[in-house]
Chain A
Amino acid sequence: MSDGALNPSAELPRARRAAVGRSLGGAVRKRIGANASLTLGCVIFGTMLLIAALASVIAPFNPDTQDIPHALTAPGVEGHLLGTDQLGRDVLSRLLYGARIDIFIACGSVLFPFAIGLIVGMLAGYRGGWVDSVLVGIIDIVFAFPALVLLVALVFVLGPGIGTIVIAITLTDWVSYAQLSRTSSRREGTQEYILAARTGGIPTRRILFRHVLPNIIVQPIVLATSDALLIIIAITTLGFLGLGVPPPAPDWGTMISEAQPYLNVQWWLAVAPGVAIIITGLGLSLIGDGLAAKLDVR
């Protein structure tokens, strides 16, 4: 187990064996395929990130400026490439600023559950005993709620706002990471090199952060990419339900919700933000797939 750093799962040797057992050509193709989806995913998501960062530079209009006389214009009219919404605001600009809001909230909302879940799960899994039992209980309890229901209820009681959304997502989502890192950390804790380190009198903190953490972090990272996709959908869903970022800030979900009455005539008002969500999701999903294949996770 000298290359333990890249060996987080017990199933891994079997996976490797299976890969060798299958046609080697297939394995090579699979590898290239994995890299292709990773590259494509990074390009797509990177572009979205760039758009989010440069929204203020590339947006042709102020996203919040209302122009009621020119409400609901068709695409291309008076420089509004995607037309205007029911308040005469430029749809393209709102779309670009929406990327900023939704993607940045999503990134923040992934970070907290990831860090909290990873650390708590690692400590509990390594320690074992009652700490671990309590964590398992909490995980079971949170998983008993449909995630969206708990999220909606939390945002409702905490009140609207970006901070609230991040807190609510953190409260519902950290358990996924905790469960994953708890299982791996439990397994890792019984490995002989850890026993050797413990016998050698190396302090627990150092064992955890220098030996256990590097060995269990790969799976949570892969989870985080697919999780970011679910979080973007959750954020836009909150917006659609009227529980999202307070207006007038542009959010893709709110845009779709507002476009609902005009679906018959101005279908692009709803389709454009939907496509934006799907493209972002596709990027994240490809990254997740590529990472999983590349790092041999799952």
Chain B
Amino acid sequence: MAYAGFLIRRLLQAIPVIFGVTFIVFWLIHLVPGDPARTALGLHATPAAIAKLHQEWGLDSSLPAQYLNYLGRLVTGNLGTSLRYQESAGTLILERLPVTLWLIVYSTVLVAIFAVPLALLAASRPGALRDRLVSIISVAGLGIPGFWLGLILIQYFAIEARVLPAAGFGSGFTGHLESMFLPSLTIAIGIIPMVVRSLRAEVLRTADLDFVVTARSKGLSERRIRWRHVLRNALPPSVTILMVNVGFLIGSTIVVELVFSLGGIGSLMINAINGRDFPLVQAVTLFFAFMVIFTNILGDLLQALLDPRLEAR
């Protein structure tokens, strides 16, 4: 019950951010130099077609009226109509949502699988060889561009070794698991260095806290101290660390979906850009922002579940 209240409060807090996000997305079209309708339709557009688009987008009314109109449309679930596909942007996005969600969840799982042991290994003996190695790996890993890494992974694992598919979503759960491994790994490798660093620092910070000395003074085993006291208390901040990187993770899907020819929301955005499909670019941008906001609310909720001190708030 306390969590329901927490969730409601957190949703209310998100409202101003949601308004701000919609305003920026709305404003995007007015950043286009010159007439957006003409830019969208190209040089050979007829005046009639341009006028039609003006009317459709409401470009001739005042800015506040346009924004209110835009908000009104959003409230009814209308994200706009794609110029290129001649279809509702919302439908196009929902069709492609499973691929992108798979990618996000899969890469988050991979981040957890690799980052947690690495961070623990590094923190188990600060300054030792293992700590150095982990730190060198993360320093080097930070500078690898995802799109390049994706290409290299395809080349080695899919084309030369032929152990994994080079592209596509696959079919069935195991098919997805197999096909989405390389793309998810590409995203994960971009994030693991940051997570490992923060997590290592967090574990060390927690291990330095007084209650760990208390635990030791009780005569508990080092094992129990590590798992029940140090790690347990490093968990809530780890969620924060993941949340800080969630925007980066979601943004990476654009590049990775393109490299691995995945039909998700990210590649939809690139298609929209290549087709000068303004309404679709706006819709996708807005949807991505909503995904971040929603994930952050989930993260806060998870944190409240993990940290009894937050329960009361």
A and B touch in the complex (CB under 8 A): yes
Are B251's CB and A281's CB within 8 A?
no
Q: Which residues in chain A, 282-298, are within 8 Å of chain B measured between CB atoms?
A: 282, 284-286, 289, 298
Q: Which of A70-78, A184-192, A204-212, A229-237 contacts B (4 or more CB under 8 A)?
A: A229-237
Q: Indicate whether A82 reaches chain B with its CB closer than 8 angstroms.
A: no
- Would you give the shortest CB distance from A203 to chain B, in whole angstroms? 34
- Please state if B143 and A233 are interface contacts (CB–CB under 8 Å): yes
B123-165: contact bitstring with A at CB < 8 Å (1 yes, 0 no)?
0001100000000000110111111100110110001000000
Query: Is residue A280 contacting chain B, with contact meaning CB distance below 8 A?
Result: yes
Q: Say yes or no: is A57 at the interface (Cβ < 8 Å to chain B).
A: no
Q: Is the CB of B28 within 8 A of A157?
A: yes
Give the complex CA separation of A213 and B288 in angstroms: 36
B285 touches A284 (CB 8 A): no
Closest residue on chain A to residue B22 by CB atoms: A141
Q: How far is the CA of A138 from the CA of B24 in the complex (A)?
A: 10
Name the one of A156, A257, A278 contacting B281, with C-beta atoms under 8 angstroms: A156
Cβ B269 vs Cβ A149 within 8 A: yes
0 or 1 for each of B149-191: is its CB under 8 Å from A? (1 = yes): 0011011000100000000000000000000000000000000
Min Cβ gap A42→B in Å is: 15
Query: Complex Cα distance A284/B140, Å?
Result: 10
Q: Which residues of chain A are within 8 angstroms of B127 by Cβ–Cβ distance?
A: 26, 29-30
Nearest A residue to B291, CB-CB: A146
Tell whether, in the assembled complex, residue B281 and residue A277 are in contact, meaning their CB atoms are under 8 Å apart: no
A141 touching B17 by the CB < 8 A rule?
A: yes
Q: Does A159 contact B (CB under 8 A)?
A: yes
**In the complex, how many angstroms separate the beta carbon of A154 from the nearest chain B beta carbon?**
7
Q: Are B145 and A156 in contact, CB atoms less than 8 angstroms apart?
A: no
CB <8 Å contact, B143 and A237:
no
Distance in Å: Cβ of B241 to nearest Cβ of chain A: 13
Pairwise interchain contact B270-A256, C-beta atoms closer than 8 A: no
Judge whether A229 and B142 touch: CB under 8 Å. yes
Q: Does B192 have its Cβ within 8 Å of any Cβ on chain A?
A: no
Chain B contact surface mostly: helix
Asked if A91 is an interface residue, CB under 8 A from chain B, the answer is no
B255 touches A278 (CB 8 A): no
Q: How far is the CA of A278 from the CA of B201 in the complex (A)?
A: 25
Residue A67 interfacial (CB < 8 Å): no
Question: What is the minimal beta-carbon distance from A243 to any residue of chain B, in angstroms?
Answer: 7
Residue of B nearest to A280 (CB): B143
Task: Please judge, given known A-B contacts A26-B127, A285-B139, whether A146 and B248 are in contact too, CB under 8 Å.
Answer: yes
Q: Of residues 112 to 148 in A, which have CB atoms within 8 Å of B's CB atoms?
A: 137-138, 140-148
Which chain B residues numbered 216 to 270 have a C-beta less than 8 Å away from chain A? 247-252, 254-255, 258, 269-270
Bound-complex Cα distance A142 to B17 (A):
9
- A residues in contact with B281, CB < 8 Å: 153, 156-157
- B152/A271 in contact, CB under 8 A: yes
Chain A residues near B282: list those with CB within 8 A. 153
Whether B148 lies near A141 (C-beta < 8 A) is: no
Instruction: Answer whether residue A260 sits at the interface, using C-beta atoms and an 8 A cutoff.
Output: yes
Q: How far is the CA of A242 from the CA of B144 in the complex (A)?
A: 19
15 A-B Cβ contacts within 8 A? Answer: A137-B16, A144-B296, A146-B288, A149-B284, A149-B285, A156-B281, A157-B28, A226-B142, A233-B143, A237-B145, A237-B255, A240-B255, A241-B270, A264-B155, A277-B144
Q: A: which residues have CB within 8 A of B?
A: 18, 26, 29-30, 37, 137-138, 140-150, 152-154, 156-159, 226, 229, 233, 236-237, 240-243, 253, 256-257, 260, 263-264, 267, 270-271, 273-274, 277-282, 284-286, 289, 298
Interface residues of B (CB under 8 A from A): 16-17, 20-21, 24, 28-29, 31-33, 126-127, 139-140, 142-148, 151-152, 154-155, 159, 201, 208, 247-252, 254-255, 258, 269-270, 273-274, 278, 281-282, 284-285, 288-289, 292-293, 296
Taking A153-B285, A157-B281 as known contacts, 6 extra A-B pairs with beta carbons closer than 8 A to each other, sorted by chain A number, are A237-B255, A256-B147, A274-B148, A280-B143, A281-B143, A284-B143
User: A-B pairs with the 5 shortest C-beta distances?
Assistant: A281-B143, A146-B251, A148-B251, A141-B20, A274-B148
